[in-house]
Structure 1
């Protein structure tokens, strides 16, 4: 099938991903059909296969795009300093970055179960890179006598889960600003790992 008049691959390809993101976040991966995605983009259903081989690849591409953008942004901010300063920076970065992308966060966590084992492994490798930075910060803090942890991996996962949870309840029109939320979460994270 031909593309809809006026569509262009450099424009339509990203629109396919954006439509899949929006629809998967709203209805769940399993409930969304390729036909719905095509309708949202404004192309014929068969034309989607010019941009992706299948729905599973769309899900993988969304998760990979999210994780690669997160890692790239984090790499540009990675700084030096004491373990406490690095932990504060990681905490504030994680909250601010993720609050701006609630749909991506929802899909990255809630739709992992829908990945094939091979695709799950690919996404897990990217997630592990991000988690490793926090684990290193915590390890350095324990070595410096600033933090206490009987299991660094569990502490890492607990901190990330706590920080990511903010995307489920925070509303920009609510009573707290992003700065206030960052401050509250930083205080909780600091106390959670303190000696």
Structure 2
């Protein structure tokens, strides 16, 4: 499909995704139209289809890019000496990575229901890859005799849910610094899984 004359795909495409991200996170996917996205970017509604086949594809791409960035960043974390250090590193990484991306986090969790079954399956597989990282830490800690975890999968989901809670209430201008919040959460996680 030909682009509009004078358009720049390397500029307009990211602007469309940024506008969609902002609108989906503020109003919800179902309440946002392609016309609203186009108006936000400053292009005709029909021009959007030069960059994305439809709204579903746009939502999927936003989620996929977020999950891939999360996985890539997690893969770059340095090696640790043992499971305790790995868990502490995971806690800090998860909190800080997600706090910098509130719109992406909101969409990644709240808009899953709006994905087609095929798109849902792909995003769910990426999420499972990330969860497997934490579950692997719990299993390593059990082997090392450092953790008492009855069910590593449930522990994984519980810890991620707890860490995600920070995104809903933390404010930089609040009474606690991010370092203090991270330490408190680390203490809670550690106490919940250690002997």
TM range (shorter): over 0.9
Structure-2 separation of matches of 1:46 and 1:6: 15
Which runs of structure 1 show a deviation greater than 3 angstroms over 4 or more consecutive aligned residues?
none
Q: CA deviation at 1:150?
A: 1.4
The aligned runs of 1:1-195 (5 Å cut-off) are 3=4, 7-195=7-195
Q: Secondary structure at the match of 1:153?
A: helix
Q: CA deviation at 1:7?
A: 3.6
Structure-1 separation of matches of 2:39 and 2:6: 15
Q: Secondary structure at the match of 1:77?
A: coil
TM-score normalized with structure 1 length = 0.96
Structure-1 separation of matches of 2:71 and 2:65: 10
Structure-2 separation of matches of 1:137 and 1:2: 47
Q: CA deviation at 1:60?
A: 0.4
Structure-1 separation of matches of 2:50 and 2:142: 51
In structure 2, runs of 5+ residues without a counterpart are none
Q: CA deviation at 1:2?
A: 7.2
In structure 1, runs of 5+ residues without a counterpart are none
Structure-1 separation of matches of 2:168 and 2:104: 12
Structure-2 separation of matches of 1:2 and 1:143: 56
TM-score normalized with structure 2 length = 0.96
RMSD: 1.4
Q: CA deviation at 1:80?
A: 2.6
Number of corresponding residues: 194
Q: CA deviation at 1:70?
A: 0.7
